């Protein structure tokens, strides 16, 4: 859309006119006058994507990047705010991103004694507008630095990592690993598949938000709200970059990233919002025998509600999916294939791209549960070509209570809201409501604010390692466990060869219940997981009620492997005596 920019009042003219005014009333009247000189704002651009959050009134700001300069058009439903917008347009529009970031706007406000004639709420709204402008400038500058020719990045290209950390030194960043177990032993934490530990950078981020600028987001117009809103939306963009969402380097990425409370909530959102609107009786959903309950029960609930049928893709004797069986399960009645990227029990890494291609041929959508894949830092949603991808923050060094639903925007746009309440609406009347745009229509109520902001630090931490390094490290440790266990009579490992899995090692000891194994290891400071791991259908397939699971992550060491394997050997030796 081409917009007529028109002539702008210069900053020098604004300064001169305001300083000539003799009263606050005259200055306010002048702001209203210059606000009337803004060019007409196209009604089609007055959408959620361009709304400036944190303002008392409604404000929309639209950037256009041409060569090395950024032009802005903006408007507001408040006449005086349009005057403030005129000041920002005069200061920033038509300049480079670097000039925007360096311009001393606060100094100009002091010169015109701005705070003497506008209210604190208007001042805070102005602060939100400035943060939005600078955020756009920062994104533009970052994109230009990584793409100096200023051409569109290929669809599958993700930003190059700046490697600042090595696996060998990772454990030092995790304060909890320095604690002693109550037994006096060194803590050996091997339960990261359930929930990872957090580095100091994430812990400090949580404290920083609560200590310096915490407030609710997207609503209040004061400074704290504006700072917190910007930080949360920055985290949303960081997640998009991390998973290589389409258009990760512009505002479109925000539309495809929905914050939820976790993987479970994300799957339930899709099952209810998409499923109820699109499935009919006798339609089919395909699941696999290695799914977590979170990727089973929501679909079972939907199937019971609609009258749909669930079909199951089996696993082979080598603990991998029997992909050759998928074509006979797929049909025109198939509406959804929901598959885990990595089994939380077996560690099996599944060929989700191949599954997506096969499913799309019959018109089915695909949801990928990436909860166990995302911690390695190599999830690429474009490469997967899945329609929905879900994961949790707490498995990837982030806080609990925060998760992500990535969805292709055309699908998310067509889905009705799942929950109703505050923040998810554009307007409400006695006769109905109009939902907000993406992603906010799916984020009813108060968001997991601090958790989302801290999740950005988790993303940045994972991005500081060389791509593929985390998975390679986990495999090296798991491989050593496999080697040691081969020499221990009575231990059986469940999972594929090391080349087809990650750092999960699930096992059982002949004649010993998993609970006893876990308890005896815990007495020595070794933390593993025992039970069915929220995968009862898989355990039924394996003929087991429970297993033991040791899961290795970037902060584990070869010493951890040795302590763990030695403990298993001692346990069996003592049992035989």
* Domain residue ranges of the chain, discontinuous segments joined by +: 11-146, 258-446, 469-576
- Exposed/middle/buried for 430, CB within 10 Å: 0-12, 13-18, 19+? exposed
Pairing of strands 425-429, 432-435: antiparallel
Residue corresponding to tokens 């009705």: 416
How far is C-alpha 311 from the geometric centre of its chain's CA atoms?
30
Q: What angle do CA 236, 375, 366 make, to 5 degrees?
A: 70
Angstrom CA distances, 392 to 385, 404, 405, 411, stand at 20, 6, 9, 21
- pLDDT (0 to 100) of residue 253: 64
β-pair type (547-551, 504-509): antiparallel
Q: Of the residues 55, 534, 548, 565, which is catalytic?
A: 534
- Exposure string over 315-326, b if 16+ CB within 10 A, otherwise e: beeebbbeeeeb
Spans of the chain below 70 pLDDT: 1-8, 53-56, 120-121, 124, 139, 141-158, 219-221, 249-253
Cβ neighbour number for residue 487 with a 10 Å cutoff = 9
Distance, CA of 63 to CA of 139 (rounded, Å): 12
71 token code pair: 């032009």
Q: Which of 492, 477, 473 is nearest to 572 (CA)?
A: 492
Classified as helix, coil or strand, 2 is coil
Angle between helices 469-486 and 558-576 (to 10 degrees): 20
pLDDT at 143: 55
pLDDT at 424: 85
Q: Are 40 and 4 in contact (CB under 8 A)?
A: yes
55 is catalytic: no
Furthest-apart CA pair in the chain: how many Å? Answer: 98
Give the domain 11-146 fold.
Answer: Sufe protein. Chain: A (3.90.1010)
Domain 258-446 coded CATH 3.10.350.10? no
What does the pLDDT read at residue 148?
A: 39
328-385 tens-digit pLDDT: 999 999 999 999 999 999 999 999 999 999 999 999 999 999 999 999 878 999 999 9
Residue 480: phi and psi, rounded to 5, are -65, -35
Query: Which CATH number does 469-576 carry?
Result: 3.90.1150.10
Q: Which residues contact 476 (CB under 8 A, 6 or more apart)?
A: none
Provide the whole-model pTM: 0.79
d(CA 381, CA 325): 25
Start-to-end Cα distance in the chain = 82
**What confidence score (pLDDT) does residue 383 get?**
94
DSSP string, 272-339: IIIHHHH--TT-EEEEETT--GGGTHHHHHHHHHHT-EEEEEPB-TTSSB-GGGHHHH--TTEEEEEE
Spatial CA neighbour of 258 closest among 491, 464, 415, 385: 415
The reply to whether omega before 11 is within 30° of 0 (cis) is no
In the prediction, which pLDDT does 97 show? 86
pLDDT in tens, 390-430: 999 999 999 999 999 999 999 999 999 989 988 888 788 89
Those residues with Cβ within 8 angstroms of residue 53's Cβ, 6 or more apart along the chain or in another chain: 128, 217, 218, 226, 229, 233
């Amino acid at each position: 859309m081409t917009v007529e920019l028109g002539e702008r009042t210069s900053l020098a003219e604004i300064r001169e006119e305001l300083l000539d005014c003799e009263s606050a009333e005259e200055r306010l009247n002048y702001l209203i006058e210059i606000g009337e000189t803004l060019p007409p704002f196209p009604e089609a651009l007055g959408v959620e994507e361009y709304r400036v959050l944190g303002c008392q009134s409604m404000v929309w700001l639209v950037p256009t990047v041409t060569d090395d300069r950024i032009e802005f058009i903006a408007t507001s439903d408040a006449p005086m705010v349009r005057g403030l917008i005129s000041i920002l347009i005069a200061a920033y529009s038509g300049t480079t991103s670097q000039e925007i970031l360096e311009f001393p706007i606060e100094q100009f406000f002091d010169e015109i004694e701005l705070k003497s004639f506008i209210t604190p709420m208007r001042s805070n709204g102005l602060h939100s507008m400035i943060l939005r402008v600078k955020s756009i400038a920062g994104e533009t500058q970052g994109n230009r630095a990584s793409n100096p020719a200023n051409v569109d990045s290929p669809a599958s290209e993700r930003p190059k990592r700046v490697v600042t950390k090595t696996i060998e030194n990772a454990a030092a960043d995790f304060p909890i690993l320095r604690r002693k177990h109550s037994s006096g032993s060194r803590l050996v934490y091997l339960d990261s598949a359930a929930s990872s530990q957090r580095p100091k950078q994430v812990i400090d981020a949580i404290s920083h938000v609560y200590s310096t600028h915490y407030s609710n987001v997207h609503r209040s117009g004061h400074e704290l709200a504006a700072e917190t809103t910007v930080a949360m939306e920055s985290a949303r963009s960081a997640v998009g970059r991390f998973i290589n969402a389409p258009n990760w380097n512009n505002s479109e990425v925000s539309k495809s990233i929905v914050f939820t409370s976790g993987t479970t909530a994300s799957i339930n959102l899709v099952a209810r919002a998409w499923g109820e609107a699109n499935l009919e009786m006798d339609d089919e959903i395909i699941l696999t025998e290695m799914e977590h309950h979170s990727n089973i029960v929501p679909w079972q609930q939907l199937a019971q509600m609609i009258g749909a049928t669930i079909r199951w893709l089996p696993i082979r004797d080598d603990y991998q999916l029997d992909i050759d069986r998928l074509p006979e399960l797929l049909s025109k009645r198939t509406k959804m294939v929901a598959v885990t990227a990595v089994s939380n029990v077996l560690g099996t890494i599944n060929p989700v791209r191949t599954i997506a291609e096969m499913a799309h041929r019959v018109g089915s959508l695909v949801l990928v549960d990436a909860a166990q894949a995302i911690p390695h830092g190599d999830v690429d949603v474009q490469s997967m070509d899945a329609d929905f991808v879900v994961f949790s923050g707490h498995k990837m060094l982030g806080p609990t209570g925060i998760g992500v639903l990535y969805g292709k925007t055309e699908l998310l746009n067509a889905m009705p809201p799942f929950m109703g309440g505050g923040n998810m609406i554009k307007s409400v009347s006695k006769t109905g409501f109009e939902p907000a745009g993406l992603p906010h229509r799916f984020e009813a109520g108060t968001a997991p604010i601090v958790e989302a902001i801290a999740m950005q630090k988790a993303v940045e931490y994972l991005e500081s390692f060389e791509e593929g390094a985390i998975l390679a490290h986990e495999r090296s440790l798991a491989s050593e466990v496999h080697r040691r266990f081969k020499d221990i009579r009575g231990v059986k490992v469940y999972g594929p060869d090391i080349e087809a899995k990650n750092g999960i090692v699930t096992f059982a000891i002949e004649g010993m219940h998993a609970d006893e194994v876990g308890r005896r290891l815990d007495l020595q400071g070794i933390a593993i997981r025992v039970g069915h791991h929220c995968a009862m259908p898989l355990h039924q397939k394996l003929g087991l009620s429970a297993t033991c699971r040791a899961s290795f992550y970037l902060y584990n060491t070869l010493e951890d492997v040795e302590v763990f394997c030695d403990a298993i050997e001692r346990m069996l030796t003592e049992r035989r005596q």
